[in-house]
Amino acid sequence: MTVTTPELDPLSKLPHRTSVRKFDPYVCFNVQQAQYPADALWSRVSSLEPSGSEAAVASKISALGPEGSRSKPDSTGKKRPAVGLLLSSYFTLTDNREGVGETYDSEADLSSGVHQQPERPTVWLQRRQGAFDNLQHRAILKTLDASACPSNINRLFHSLLQNRKVTLLIPQGRATKEQKQGCPQGSCSGPALWNLVADEILIQVWPDNVHIQAFADDFVLVIKADTNKSLVEDTQNAITQFSSWCSENELAISTEKTNYILFSKKVRSPKITWNGYKINRVKYFKYLGIHVDDRLNWLEHINKQGEKAIKMQQNLKRIADGNWGISQIHRWTLYKTVIERMLAHGSSAWCLNPTFKMKRKLSSIQRPFLLHISGAYRTTPTAALQTILGIPPLHMQLQFEARFTSIYRIRIPLPLFITDTQPHDLEMKATGRSTHPSEHLKPNQISFEDGEAYIARKDIINIFTDGSKTEHGVGAAFCVLTNDIWAYQWSAKLNDNNTVFQAELTTLHEAVIYASHLPNHNTSKIHVDNRASIMASSNSKSTNETARKIFKILLSNPRIKVSWVKAHAGNIGNERADQLAKDATQRGQPYSHTKLLKPHIKGLLRKRMLEEWQTSWKNGDTGRKIYNIMPSVSLRPTNWIREDVIFFS
């Protein structure tokens, strides 16, 4: 068998013979010129020629543009951003890490509809495999023209998606075919281009009783109606509207894979068709990794996840072997990091208020893992194993995950008996850059060298900041030294649940605001004894909102400089600011602009879970021998060896 390997195209050669440092300017040059290299629009195909009639085909294509590389978005729904911030449009229903938030909204909406008794079917539209490959280039270009995409990027894509060809060497010579469809998925912008086109159908005007949702190339329609007749009419109208969009973009729907689920107590199924094909009714379907059943009791999902967990447990047994070759701490870690994470997927949709049946089923799923981790006999009570290993009941752990996801990520308030903290009280992490990548601070604006030498200079206004946390609370303060005179001071008392880092950033933020209002001819030097706050404030990609505000102020005021100063080293300005911050913990003016961090709400919800676990353990009727030894539950395992577990239980 002879193998013919074609020469790499020009763009593919670049990463092989140059470093990334040289490759990036080449790409940026193409973006600036809004022109894609003509040679890179050709994709050469390598053919393997066996002695018989069979042949295999492999394509060699460039990294940024040509067709053939089919890397779809991963299962978490994350989309890699476009190169150079190519496109600002995004898929409106896929802004999460595990796909939990959107599922919760949809399922909560469905649950409320079932209790209201009207018929509410969900028509699940599943795109056939290769939807990305069949997206027409003209549809992409039309959407780009109508978007707010920068003109040079728009022209670059027009250049990229024109005159694209694929060649294949065959015995008769070279075969060439034009390529007019498919997202260039070899690039980071491939998912963004698909999302731009898919947004057309998502932002269309739909009736109030119709909801559309999408993840990648899978679409879901939720239709609510009061009667069977209106249900069929509204569903058919929604299908017609969706089908028209598909026809405009020459996209086909796999009707044999399209199903619908009916949330109603009526037995009769409405007749729904798609282009003459009858759509089948199903009892449940899987969407975003969650099995949605027609009764919304989630037992089908728990059963499926339980089967998956048991397979993992059997594989774990093979690894551990009969002599318990893996240590107990390693088995405990594998359960917490693999099994429990897999079972917690989408818990905010189905485990916020688990029923008795759900609790019992989850307990039966958890029990084999507890036995395997502890090495106890099969007669050992589950409640005792949970207390010994420091592993909460599975339904409580998943409920904790659901509560945290609801309040922190989906921004849905929890009942007051759980916590009085509201979603708007929590600080969210910022994403992306706070400014354009070309905008950055001056080299002399940030210094990590001790700035004590600048204090003696009369031409510089020195500002000293500090934050403090004591048993009385959290305080922040800064003071201003001008010509050996303390010209101004500011202090405030933060929320008792704020951190020292938040206090340092708060006082630095107030200091730069003060310095920005000084006359333009004055140079200000802000002395900070916390390196972390300086590093966060000088980073345009910082996830902290306060740090981003500081960065923007420093960017627009180059005369403001920030320097590190050693703490508790006899510096008169730093010592004064430290004393002001400590005094502010008791007598400072309340400062309510600083929000609470994620660990705070996690700690509150974890404390609530432990209280519920302790009540269940105290009032339980099993595992009383272990209760006499360990009356209090804890998240820390006892680290008993197998013989101890067997003896005491």
Instruction: Report residue 49 as tokens.
Output: 């020629």
Among 263, 293, 323, give the residue marking a domain's end: 293
* pLDDT the model gives residue 423: 94
Q: Check which CATH number belongs to the domain holding 491 and give it.
A: 3.30.420.10
pLDDT at 73 over 60: no
Parallel/antiparallel/unpaired status of strands 218-223 and 120-126 = antiparallel
pLDDT at 295 over 70: yes
What number is the average pLDDT over the span 520-548?
92
The 10s digit of each residue's pLDDT in 246-260 is 888 888 777 777 888
What is the count of structural domains for the chain? 3
| Shared-domain flag, residues 305 and 288 | no
Distance CA 452, CA 463 (A): 12
* pLDDT the model gives residue 31: 60
| Shared-domain flag, residues 465 and 339 | no
| Shared-domain flag, residues 495 and 406 | no
In a domain, 13, yes or no: no
| Shared-domain flag, residues 382 and 450 | no
The 10s digit of each residue's pLDDT in 411-429 is 999 999 999 999 999 999 9
* pLDDT the model gives residue 93: 26
Give the lowest-confidence range in 20-24, 348-352, 411-415, 504-508: 20-24
Q: Please list, in sequence order, all residues whose beta carbon lies within 8 angstroms of the beta carbon of residue 200, skipping any fewer than 6 positions away.
A: 143, 245
| Shared-domain flag, residues 376 and 275 | no
In a domain, 169, yes or no: yes
* pLDDT the model gives residue 554: 95
Q: Pick 134 or 511 by higher pLDDT.
A: 511
The 10s digit of each residue's pLDDT in 550-605 is 999 999 999 999 999 988 888 889 999 999 999 999 988 899 888 999 999 999 99
The 10s digit of each residue's pLDDT in 339-375 is 999 999 999 999 999 999 999 999 999 999 999 899 8
pLDDT at 109 over 80: no
Sort 260 into a burial class: Cβ within 10 Å, 0-12 / 13-18 / 19+.
Answer: buried
User: Average model confidence (pLDDT) for the chain?
Assistant: 80
Which residues form the domain of 194? 103-293
Distance CA 480, CA 494 (A): 21
SS3 624: helix
In a domain, 50, yes or no: no
* pLDDT the model gives residue 462: 92
* pLDDT the model gives residue 83: 24
Instruction: Report residue 15 as tokens.
Output: 């990463």
| Shared-domain flag, residues 171 and 312 | no
pLDDT at 11 over 50: no
Give the lowest-confidence range in 6-15, 307-316, 587-596: 6-15
**Structure-token match 């009791």, residue found:** 297
* pLDDT the model gives residue 540: 92
Strands (DSSP E) found in 61-208: 120-126, 165-170, 173-178
| Shared-domain flag, residues 471 and 404 | no
Distance CA 527, CA 477 (A): 12
pLDDT tier at 323, thresholds 50, 70, 90: low
**How many CA atoms are closer than 13 Å to the CA of 257, on its beta-carbon side?**
12
**Percentage of the chain modeled with pLDDT above 90:** 45
Strands (DSSP E) found in 127-209: 165-170, 173-178
pLDDT at 296 over 50: yes
Among 293, 324, 349, give the residue marking a domain's end: 293
SS3 37: coil
In a domain, 41, yes or no: no
What number is the average pLDDT over the span 503-523?
92
In a domain, 139, yes or no: yes
In a domain, 22, yes or no: no
| Shared-domain flag, residues 552 and 617 | no
In a domain, 430, yes or no: no
Among 268, 293, 318, give the residue marking a domain's end: 293
* pLDDT the model gives residue 70: 32
| Shared-domain flag, residues 454 and 578 | yes
Q: How many CB atoms lie within 10 A of CB 494?
A: 26
| Shared-domain flag, residues 240 and 111 | yes
Q: Please list, in sequence order, all residues whose beta carbon lies within 8 angstroms of the beta carbon of residue 304, skipping any fewer than 6 positions away.
A: 286, 291
In a domain, 79, yes or no: no
| Shared-domain flag, residues 224 and 356 | no
| Shared-domain flag, residues 174 and 108 | yes
Rounded to two decimals, the pTM is 0.77
